[in-house]
A and B are shown apart, each in its own frame.
Chain A
Amino acid sequence: MKRVYSLGTVVLLSTSLVVSGCGSNNKANESSPSNSATPSASSSASNGSGEKVKLTMGSWRTDDKAVYEKVFAEFNKQYPNIEIDFSPTKSTEYNTVLNTALQTGEGPDIIHLRPYAAGIGLGDSGFIEPINGLPGLEVFPADVMAASTGKDGNVYGVPMALNTVGIMYNKKIFKDNNLEVPKTWDELLKVSQSLKDNKIIPFGFGAKDGWILSMTQGAIGPAGYGGNEFVDKLLKGEKKFTDEEYVQSLQLMKDLVPYFPDKFTGIGYEDMRTFFATEQAAMYVLGDFDVGVIQTMNPALELGVFPIPSKVAGASPTVSTYVDGSYAVNAASKHKEEAKKFLEFATSKEFGNLFANEMKRVSPIPGVTATDPVIAQFAELANTASTPYLMVTNFNSGNPTTKVTLENSMQALYLNNMDAKKVAEELQKNVDTWFKP
């Protein structure tokens, strides 16, 4: 009998504990959202006395772990008391994880902020600490800063990488087939045709992953609308997506279908990269950020890159560029000052060199030179032949975003459910719901 009562007491006790936990929870909800300790906050309160401070950095770059360790080691030479812990989340889940954390007043101290509208939105809602006037920011040109500058002029992040998308090609395959880097769109088609005749897949490409479609269109598209002149007019509202220039840019993407691998609608990003890296495909439209991976997969591959030749008479070839995120400070962080120290460090040339050479990416910091010849070539093209990747730099807003609308409509284009004109109409319909020139 005794045992029953004691068990009953335990049950009662444990439930009352749980219930009272619930009560206190309600109270806490109403008070300030960040009154409880973040994991990083527990270690110390200030940095002034030389105490160690531990910061966390959130990121979607799961593969950069080793490089960041080197970066932090370099950073610690200047700031030995600020320890940073790199804690990435897989890219596809990063937004969910970060948004949930920010909504509850938590999250990492230093945030990899998505570029343009997506990240700026967080800043404009007050979740990101403005870093106006941070020493070092002045080195970046205005168009690079646009990726992390809010509507009211607040700056939210230090630009991280300048992604550059061009056509990578296999030099050896080109040589073996006596092919030259094409200078015009028609030459590109001719090169593709002769590769195809020689049983080589011209483009390592697949339409299964939506983001590949918008990225490829971002690079190839300018060949159809002729680059920056059209872009300016589009942004001023003088041109529309339904105008024939843009329709032609979509049509170019469709014209390449014969040069894509068989059943390309079922091929995703990793597959298309494997086609190129294993030398089954001769060309690959993607950014500098893939160079490191391809070189690891196949160190013997003779990699080259060229800008996309234009179909518009007289227009010069282009690569498309965009800022791939920035380093930002969580407004709810306990250690904003320390976090800003890292951001300052991220504007320095030594950081830029580490970034360019360890990560093999194009750094937005002026004067940084990459030792890898392919990255250097990408960087050179970014300086001389760049046009914005519109869907990320300007049209990643709306719900669903214009970018997503393009991706889905282009899948329909490749599945022959829509023609180029219809895709353009879908885009314009979406843009009309939110875009004001």
Chain B
Amino acid sequence: MRPSLSFRIIQHTTGYLFAILSLYPVFLMVSSSFKTTLEIFKEPLALPKKLSFAAYEKLLDQLPFGTYLWNSVFVSVISVVIILISCSLAAYYIARTSFKWNGALMFIFLLGMMIPIKLGIVPMFLLMRDLNLTNSPWSLIAIYSAMGIPLGVMILSGFFRTLPKELEEAAKIDGCTDMQILRRIILPLMRPALGTVMIINFVTAWNDFFFPLIFIQSELKKTIPVGMMSLFGEYASDWSTLFAGLTLASLPMIVMFIIASRQFMDGMTAGAVK
């Protein structure tokens, strides 16, 4: 009952062709970082003639890359934790209770996805200043958490609905409170959905450059993407350094993803749909 051989050849060819297409630009970025600018320009498709780490040494010497990295990790991790906690609570409420305002509540959350959020930048800036958060990583954490909530609530509440009601009814009879039900019964079953929300928001927070550009002034509080943007100005003509910078900026995310890919992927595939 297995598909025919020719069909399977087509399947594999298509699958791997698209994988090459997906990976090629990343490969180009890494391989170009070892070339000289002239090599990139004159022989764009060739492999680097020799592995030179000069560009990397130069960058690590000049940029506080470790600081950028730490700031990015700090901001992304805290935002994701806030999103996970607050969204689980809210999604549990929306999905597992039947108050008449639940529909409206859900809609209010969804509105956040439909607004060009940059519009609010000036009021946001004023707000951050009055909360004394400008030039602080907490301004980024606040905004990334708030930005991640709509999608988080949407995905988690969709997923909460798929769980059988009997589970918590039994728990209630045993005297569990709502918080205990959520923590001990629902959340452990929800790991995949939480994984989905986690990766999406982690990537968003990690790669954003607009808000740090506006909110953060001191060099030592910048995140990786902003630090990287100044590279474009400084090394516009020095492509090997630029490529090394881009590789350095992208690498932590790629490494983290590959290490955790099994967990992430299972989380995503099991959790993305109600």
A touches B in complex, CB < 8 A:
yes
Q: Which residues of B contact A274 (CB under 8 A)?
A: 37, 41, 237
Closest to A103 in B: B122
Q: Which residues of B contact A87 (CB under 8 A)?
A: 217, 219
Is B230 a contact partner of A88 (Cβ separation < 8 A)?
Answer: yes
Q: Which of A173-208 contact B (CB under 8 A)?
A: none
Contact A56-B122, Cβ < 8 Å, known A65-B234, A270-B237, A297-B37: no
Q: Which residues of A contact B132 (CB under 8 A)?
A: 36
Closest to B40 in A: A274
B200 within 8 A of A: no
Partner among A7, A8, A29, A296 whose Cβ is within 8 Å of the Cβ of B126: A29
Question: How far does the Cβ of B33 sit from chain A's closest Cβ, in whole Å?
Answer: 17
Q: Which of A13-34 contact B (CB under 8 A)?
A: 21-22, 24-25, 28-29
Q: Which of B197-222 contact A (CB under 8 A)?
A: 213-214, 217-219
State A100–B130 Cα separation when bound (angstroms): 15
Interface-centre pick from B126, B232, B238 (highest chain A CB count, 10 A) = B126
Closest to B127 in A: A25
Contact A106-B134, Cβ < 8 Å, known A4-B177, A4-B179: yes
B14 within 8 A of A: no
State A415–B167 Cα separation when bound (angstroms): 66
Contact mask for chain A residues 67-103; partner B; CB cutoff 8 A; 1 contact, 0 none: 0000000000000000000011111010011001101
State A63–B233 Cα separation when bound (angstroms): 6
Is A7 a contact partner of B179 (Cβ separation < 8 A)?
Answer: yes
Closest to B217 in A: A39
Partner among B130, B134, B180 whose Cβ is within 8 Å of the Cβ of A28: B130
Partner among B41, B42, B179, B237 whose Cβ is within 8 Å of the Cβ of A296: B237
B250 within 8 A of A: no
Partner among A8, A62, A97, A278 whose Cβ is within 8 Å of the Cβ of B230: A62
State A25–B130 Cα separation when bound (angstroms): 5
Q: Which of A291-350 contact B (CB under 8 A)?
A: 293, 296-297
Query: Do most interface residues of chain B lie in helix, strand or loop, or is the interface mixed?
Result: helix
State A96–B209 Cα separation when bound (angstroms): 13
Question: How far does the Cβ of B42 sit from chain A's closest Cβ, in whole Å?
Answer: 8
Is A100 a contact partner of B125 (Cβ separation < 8 A)?
Answer: yes
Q: Which residues of B contact A296 (CB under 8 A)?
A: 237-238
Question: How far does the Cβ of B141 sit from chain A's closest Cβ, in whole Å?
Answer: 13
B117 within 8 A of A: no
Contact mask for chain B residues 230-256; partner A; CB cutoff 8 A; 1 contact, 0 none: 101110111000000000000000000
State A100–B139 Cα separation when bound (angstroms): 15
Partner among A7, A21, A24, A273 whose Cβ is within 8 Å of the Cβ of B237: A273
Question: How far does the Cβ of A33 sit from chain B's closest Cβ, in whole Å?
Answer: 8
Closest to B86 in A: A11
Partner among B38, B126, B234 whose Cβ is within 8 Å of the Cβ of A63: B234
Partner among A21, A100, A293, A297 whose Cβ is within 8 Å of the Cβ of B214: A100
Is B213 a contact partner of A89 (Cβ separation < 8 A)?
Answer: yes
Partner among A21, A65, A90, A273 whose Cβ is within 8 Å of the Cβ of B229: A90
Closest to B219 in A: A87
Contact mask for chain B residues 172-195; partner A; CB cutoff 8 A; 1 contact, 0 none: 000001011000000000000000
State A36–B134 Cα separation when bound (angstroms): 10
Partner among B131, B179, B230 whose Cβ is within 8 Å of the Cβ of A25: B131
Partner among B37, B180, B213 whose Cβ is within 8 Å of the Cβ of A93: B213
Q: Which residues of B contact A61 (CB under 8 A)?
A: 233
State A39–B237 Cα separation when bound (angstroms): 33
Closest to B231 in A: A62
B135 within 8 A of A: yes
Q: Which residues of A contact B143 (CB under 8 A)?
A: none
B12 within 8 A of A: no
Is B233 a contact partner of A88 (Cβ separation < 8 A)?
Answer: yes
Q: Which residues of B contact A103 (CB under 8 A)?
A: 122, 125
B129 within 8 A of A: yes
State A65–B229 Cα separation when bound (angstroms): 14
8 A/B residue pairs, CB under 8 Å, sorted by A: A8-B179, A11-B89, A39-B217, A62-B234, A63-B236, A93-B213, A93-B229, A274-B37
**A-B CB proximity, top 10 nearest:** A62-B233, A25-B130, A28-B130, A4-B179, A104-B125, A90-B233, A21-B131, A4-B177, A90-B229, A63-B234
